[in-house]
């Protein structure tokens, strides 16, 4: 393979960031046809298509996303060289892009990212959103992994894979009681005010089924789809709150909240959703404890 032509790489880099041959050609004072030829030469050299056309838009392929990451590094290195020679050295860093459901426990997200948080050579980009938008970003290669508490839909054509990271118990928690009375589940829920996750939550569905079988109609104070808000309300309101203990771990350790009971047979599962990649992000393989082919290492 011949040495990489950095002029071709610069042309590709410009088109990728502009998202348009027209705009990139205008900025570089080239014709669209000449710019297109340069991109084709680079694609021929690397052996992979770098763009695909979706309607009127140019969209990066998986190989294109990898190439853009390297191109960013290459041209950033030029800036770093100038900075270094002027006495302002800048360390280069690897990047991991993480998508997380807006409603997902922040404590769980931190536990997942903890191996990378203190590394000076790593840049973490965390984006929150709903499942549909995050999975679209995953398939478009703009995030490397999606963290969720439910699985992505799969069929024979899907490139998405669900990896179970953890399974947590679910409890009723609340502020410390002034009396010595032990909480009785589910009987006390006939009168005890209750804070719940929304009906979109798997743990809410399982919990409602338990109460229905027990013939208990709870007094519901609030239904919240954001675990961070549910955590705050648990601190402020009377009654009990249905949450995985990891969500309120700090409050339990500080004694602000206490765990009244574990809910039998109800757990919350946490998943890393990834897309099958020809070029997986090495940082992602590291935090998932996978080998370089994307297969879980034996434990």
Domains of the chain plus CATH, in order, are 6-85 (1.10.10.10), 94-166+271-288 (3.40.190.10), 168-267 (3.40.190.290)
What pLDDT, in 10s, does the model give residues 256-295?
Answer: 999 999 999 999 999 999 998 877 888 898 888 865 555 5
Q: Is the pLDDT of residue 89 over 60?
A: no
Percent pLDDT > 90 in the chain is: 47
Nearest to 172 by CA among 268, 222, 241, 264: 241
In contact, 12 and 71? CB cutoff 8 Å: yes
Torsion 280-286-287-288 (CA) sign = positive
Q: pLDDT band for position 107 (50/70/90)?
A: confident
Sort strands 160-174 and 51-54 into parallel, antiparallel or unpaired. unpaired
> How far apart, in whole angstroms, are the C-alpha atoms of residue 252 and residue 259?
7
Q: What is the mean pLDDT of residues 158-174?
A: 92
Q: Is the pLDDT of residue 299 over 50?
A: no
Percent pLDDT > 70 in the chain is: 91
Q: Is the pLDDT of residue 111 over 80?
A: yes
Nearest to 211 by CA among 196, 191, 230, 189: 189
Q: What is the mean pLDDT of residues 202-206?
A: 92
Dihedral of CA atoms 56, 62, 63, 64 in degrees, nearest 10, equals 40
Alpha helices, DSSP H, located in the chain = 6-18, 21-28, 32-46, 62-85, 106-117, 131-139, 202-214, 227-236, 249-254, 282-288
Q: Is the peptide bond before 186 cis (omega within 30 degrees of 0)?
A: yes
What pLDDT, in 10s, does the model give residues 138-163?
Answer: 988 889 999 999 999 877 677 899 99
Q: Is the pLDDT of residue 194 over 80?
A: yes
Q: Pull the structure tokens for residue 21.
A: 């041959």
Q: Comparing 54 with 127, which gets the higher pLDDT? A: 127
pLDDT at 91: 55
Q: What is the pTM of this model?
A: 0.68
Q: Is the pLDDT of residue 80 over 70?
A: no
pLDDT at 1: 46
pLDDT at 292: 58
Residue with tokens 């980009």, as numbered in its chain? 125
> How far apart, in whole angstroms, are the C-alpha atoms of residue 92 and residue 44?
29
Give the E-state strand segments of 139-296 in sequence order.
145-148, 160-174, 193-197, 219-224, 240-243, 258-275
């Amino acid at each position: 393979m011949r040495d990489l032509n950095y002029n071709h790489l610069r042309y590709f880099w410009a088109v990728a960031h502009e998202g348009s041959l027209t705009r990139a050609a205008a900025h570089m004072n080239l014709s669209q046809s000449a710019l297109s030829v340069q991109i084709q030469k680079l694609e021929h050299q690397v052996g992979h298509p770098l763009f695909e056309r979706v309607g009127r838009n140019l969209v990066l392929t998986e190989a294109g996303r990898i190439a853009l990451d390297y191109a960013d590094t290459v041209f950033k290195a030029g800036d770093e060289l100038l900075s270094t020679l002027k006495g302002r050295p800048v360390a280069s860093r690897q990047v991991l892009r993480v998508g997380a459901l807006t409603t997902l426990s922040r404590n769980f997200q931190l536990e997942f990212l903890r191996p990378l948080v203190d590394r000076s050579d790593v840049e973490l980009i965390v984006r929150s959103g709903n499942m549909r938008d995050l999975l679209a970003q995953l398939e478009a290669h703009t995030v490397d992994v999606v963290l969720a508490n439910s699985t992505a839909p799969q069929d024979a054509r899907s490139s998405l894979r669900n990896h179970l990271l953890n399974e947590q118990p679910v409890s009723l928690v609340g502020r410390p009681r002034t009396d010595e009375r032990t909480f009785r589940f589910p009987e006390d829920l006939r009168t005890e005010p209750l804070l719940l996750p929304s009906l979109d939550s798997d743990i809410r569905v399982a919990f409602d089924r338990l109460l229905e079988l027990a013939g208990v109609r709870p007094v519901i104070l609030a239904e919240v789809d954001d675990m961070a808000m549910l955590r705050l309300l648990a601190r402020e309101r009377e009654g009990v709150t249905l949450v995985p203990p990891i969500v309120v771990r700090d409050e339990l350790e500080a004694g602000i909240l206490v765990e009244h009971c574990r809910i039998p047979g109800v757990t919350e599962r946490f998943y890393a959703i990834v897309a099958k990649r020809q070029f997986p992000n090495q940082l992602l393989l590291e935090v998932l404890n996978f080998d370089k082919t994307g297969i879980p290492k034996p434990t």
